[in-house]
Structure 1
Amino acid sequence: MCICRCLHPKLKSKSSVIPWIEIKCPMQTNGIDCGYFVMRFMKEIILANQDMILENVCITLEITNGDYKCKTYSKDKLVEVEEDWATFMVEYLRDYIAQRLTL
Structure 2
Amino acid sequence: MKTMMLGLKEGEHVKVHCTKRTFNMEKDFEISVTVEDTDQLLSGAWLNISIIQVFATALSELCFHDDCHPNSIGFMCPEMISATMLKSDADRILLYITRSMSALSSKTFILCPYYEKSHWMLLVLCLSKREVYIFDSQQKKRNLMIKEPLNNAFRSYKRLGGQSKGTKLTWIPAQCAQQPGSLDCGYYVMRFMYDIIMNHANSQDLTKDFSRTLPYSAEEINEVKDFWADYFMNNVEFLA
TM-score range, shorter chain: 0.5 to 0.7
Q: Work out which of the residue numbers 202, 222, 225 in structure 2 matches 1:82.
A: 225
Deviation of the 1:15 alpha carbon = 4.5
Q: TM-score of the superposition, structure 2-length normalised? A: 0.30
Aligned residue-pair number: 87
Give, as a single letter, the amino acid of the residue that structure 2 aligns with 1:6. N
1:58 partnered with 2:204: no
SS in 1 for 2:171: coil
* 1:15-94 pair list within 5 angstroms: 15-52=166-203, 54-58=206-210, 70-93=213-236
Q: Which amino acid aligns with 1:29?
A: P
Larger Rg: 1
Q: CA shift at 1:41, angstroms? A: 1.4
* Whole-angstrom distance in 1 between the partners of 2:207 and 2:200: 16
Give the TM-score of the pair, scaled to structure 1: 0.62
Q: Which SS does the other structure have where 1:55 is aligned?
A: helix
The gaps in structure 2 that reach 5 residues or longer are 1-97, 102-148, 157-163
Question: Deviations 1:50-72 (Å, cap 9, x if unpaired)?
Answer: 3235213436xxxxxxxxx6411
* Alignment equivalent of 1:6, drawn from 152, 166, 176: 152
Q: Return the structure number with greater helix share.
A: 1
1:36 and 1:78 in contact (8 A); partners too: yes
CA contact (8 A) 1:40 1:81 kept: yes
| More relative contact order, 1 or 2 (CA 8 Å, 6+ apart) | 1
Alpha-carbon distance in 2 for matches of 1:27, 1:82: 18
Aligned 8 A contact 1:58 1:70 in 2: no
Identical amino acids, percent of aligned pairs: 29
Is the contact made by 2:187 and 2:221 (CA closer than 8 Å) also made in structure 1?
Answer: yes
CA gap of 1:51–1:83, structure 2 versus 1, over 3 A, is same
Question: Where does structure 1 differ by over 4 angstroms across 4 or more consecutive aligned residues?
Answer: 2-5
